[in-house]
Amino acid sequence: MALDRHLPDCEDILKEVIWAFSDFVRDNRGVYDPEARSPAGNPWYPVTGQF
C-alpha cells in the first residue's frame, strides 16, 4: 500500500490502517484491552501532523 502524504485524507487512511492492524493483533492474542483504542494506550497511533 502506498500513500501520498499530500493527499488531504492520507492521515485518516493511515490511522484506519493502524487501527485495523492493532485490532488484528489484539484479537489474535486473545486479549481484550479497552485502552487499546485510545491514543495513549496504542503505541502504533501516529502523532497528529507526523506525516
Residue 28: domain span: 1-51
pLDDT value at residue 38: 57
For residue 30, which amino acid is it?
Answer: G
**Number of domains, the chain:** 1
Query: What predicted TM-score, i.e. pTM, was given to this entire model?
Result: 0.42
pLDDT value at residue 39: 56
More confident site: 4 or 30: 4
User: Looking at residues 6-12, what average pLDDT do you find?
Assistant: 77
Q: Which of 15-19, 22-26, 27-31, 33-37 has the lowest average pLDDT?
A: 33-37
Q: Cell digits for 2?
A: 502506498
Contact 22, 44 (CB under 8 A): yes
pLDDT value at residue 33: 59
